[in-house]
Structure 1
Amino acid sequence: MTSEKPHTPSPELDPPFTVRSPPLQSAPFVLCSPHSGRIYPKEFLAQSRLDAKTLRKSEDCFVDELFCGAAELGVPLIAARFPRAYLDVNREPYELDPELFADPLPDYANSQSVRVVGGLGTIARIVADGEEIYRSRLGVDEALARIERLYFPFHAALEALIASTKAQFGYCILIDCHSMPSAQTAQSNGPRPDFVLGDRFGAACDPRLTRFLRDTLATEGYDVQLNRPYAGGYITEHYGRPYRGVQALQMEINRALYLDEARFVATPGFNRIKGDLTRIAAMLFSEVPAMIERRAAAE
């Protein structure tokens, strides 16, 4: 018998995230992987009407590992250990769906956002393909406990990495790392690209940086789109403040390039993608700082 209260986040998620920090940071970049967590707490699985395999449809499987090579070039990488289906840090802290909870939400909750209405708030009601996650409604205390013990520590750590990078280099470039399903949705037309870069249509990142990364990926033979269908989520929008010295750019990778999406195992393409990302990161780390600094000097 356990004394752990139902609304206490699982000890399996202690610590809630990992940070790979180089002994000496060599470039003004921070890498973030908010959706690659793959520790599904036992009590969460018991609450869910879905099996663990179905829950993983929302997971950016192995994205943190794809960017390990880039991090080893001398920049920090923060990655959530908890899954997106359990808590989504790429949302406002209190984007909560009233349909999911047994009691009233606090007044400060945002229950009307497009993401909440779609079932994908801070505590998701559905997985990526629209299946309901929970057997019954949750208590609000449980949601607030997840947010307090997982969400806020993750963002505090991310903010600290951004602040230390700014202190060392004068500015920071945040790359928010994600993957996207290859399967077509009812709203999409034509095949999914290999990569989608989202900079909130230029509001979160210097467009020259976005174009440089797009052109570099294209030179490697990849099909790249900008801002459609993903312009960047909360992390890109919240942290991307070029006028305050923080550029934020979201990168979505087509899972078909590296993953067996039915079995959640890496395909032979994994090593190619990881190698290409590491080589492209090396180019970014060496060339983009001069680009940003020249613009700052001109202004």
Structure 2
Amino acid sequence: MPEKFDRPPSYRERRPIDVLTPNETGSAVIFASPHSGRDYPADLLRNSRLDHHSLRQSEDSYVDLLFDEAPRFGSPLLRALFPRAYVDVNRSREELDPRMFADSVPRSADTRSSRVIAGLGVIPRIVADGQDIYGRKLYYIDARRRLSACYDPYHKALRGLVDEARARFGCAILIDCHSMPSAGGAPFRTGEPPIDFVLGDRFGTSCAPEIIRHAEEILTGFGYQVTRNAPYAGGYVAASYGRPRNGVHALQIEINRALYLDERRIARTDAFEALREHMIELMRRLTGFDVSGLCIPQAAE
């Protein structure tokens, strides 16, 4: 029988998320960084067949630092502190890979999603470069503990921020912030420049067209190459939170890591600060967006 994974004594005490809040909320825009967590739990490091550096290949490294000035503009920034290799909050809670477990997963588990089949479920089986994270199987109780400790607090906080924005402004605009490997920004045709940003709105279903158009105009104005929905259209967060008819808009932003990161060393380059200044201006202009046309009627008291 496979040995159960170690559970550190401080499992429940580990702080899973951080919310940077403004002194006064002045915008319907919410920024979130679900994949930039750098706090690697001891049980992951101890039980993984990979070293710390290899595990970090799955990170959207330092994306949270590109957007940490959000409170200056009246918006919160929600960031996961745990790593994506441990729990991926941009997945359904039910996307569990049965190949990872020595015992059975619940019947409700979505074991056939394309992401699970690829090894990238809510508890990832592989890191971004395709290497297996574990040399032996987990038990389902390991997954349940992680989901309770990490996944649930993240989505509870995100739902709370969305509900608060809707109540205050009549709508909420969620900007889900990610980065992509430079290989993901390869041009579609020979001779074309690489893609710097991919804006994903689930092919027009997760946010109003004027929001993605506004973001695109800002980024192209900086001189960046921008595409929509290819190769990334938006993940679970955009699909499940983006409900424009209900006043909730979700836009995923993917940033080419070559713009700011030495991908081999996972270290910020000298270009990081220039990109950060552009992201500060992006936040300033997104939070200044006129949301009056997006608001849903409020019920009378």
What TM-score does the superposition give when structure 2 sets the normalisation length?
0.91
Aligned CA distance change for structure 1 residues 24 and 186 (closer, same or farther; 3 Å): closer
SS at match of 2:126: coil
Q: Which amino acid aligns with 1:193?
A: I
Give, in whole Å, the separation in 2 of the partners of 1:163 and 1:115: 28
Q: 2:210 aligned to 204, 208, 211, which one?
A: 208
Cross-structure match for 2:251: 249
Matched, 1:20 2:26: no
Q: Describe how 1:165-176 pairs up with structure 2 within 5 A.
A: 165-176=165-176
Q: Which runs of 5+ in 2 are unaligned?
A: none
Q: Describe how 1:1-299 pairs up with structure 2 within 5 A.
A: 6-7=6-7, 10-11=10-11, 14-183=14-183, 192-290=194-292, 292=294
Q: How many residues align?
A: 291
Deviations 1:206-242 (A, max 9, x none): 1121111112100110000100011000000010000
RMSD, aligned α-carbons: 2.1
Q: Which amino acid aligns with 2:237?
A: I
Q: Which runs of 5+ in 1 are unaligned?
A: none
Larger deviation, residues 135-144 vs 186-195: 186-195
SS at match of 1:251: strand
Q: Which amino acid aligns with 1:251?
A: I
Give, in whole Å, the separation in 1 of the partners of 2:186 and 2:101: 29
Aligned CA distance change for structure 1 residues 40 and 33 (closer, same or farther; 3 Å): same
Question: In the alignment, is the contact (CA less than 8 A) between 2:238 and 2:251 conserved in 1?
Answer: yes
What TM-score does the superposition give when structure 1 sets the normalisation length?
0.92
Larger deviation, residues 49-58 vs 39-48: 39-48
Question: In the alignment, is the contact (CA less than 8 A) between 1:35 and 1:60 conserved in 2?
Answer: yes
Q: Which amino acid aligns with 1:23?
A: N
Identity over the aligned pairs, expressed in percent?
47
Larger deviation, residues 278-287 vs 18-27: 278-287
Give, in whole Å, the separation in 1 of the partners of 2:177 and 2:169: 22
Aligned CA distance change for structure 1 residues 273 and 146 (closer, same or farther; 3 Å): same
Give, in whole Å, the separation in 2 of the partners of 1:291 and 1:284: 15
Give, in whole Å, the separation in 2 of the partners of 1:52 and 1:151: 21
Give, in whole Å, the separation in 1 of the partners of 2:100 and 2:242: 31
Deviations 1:174-229 (A, max 9, x none): 00000001035999766641000000001000112111111210011000010001
Q: CA deviation at 1:112?
A: 0.4
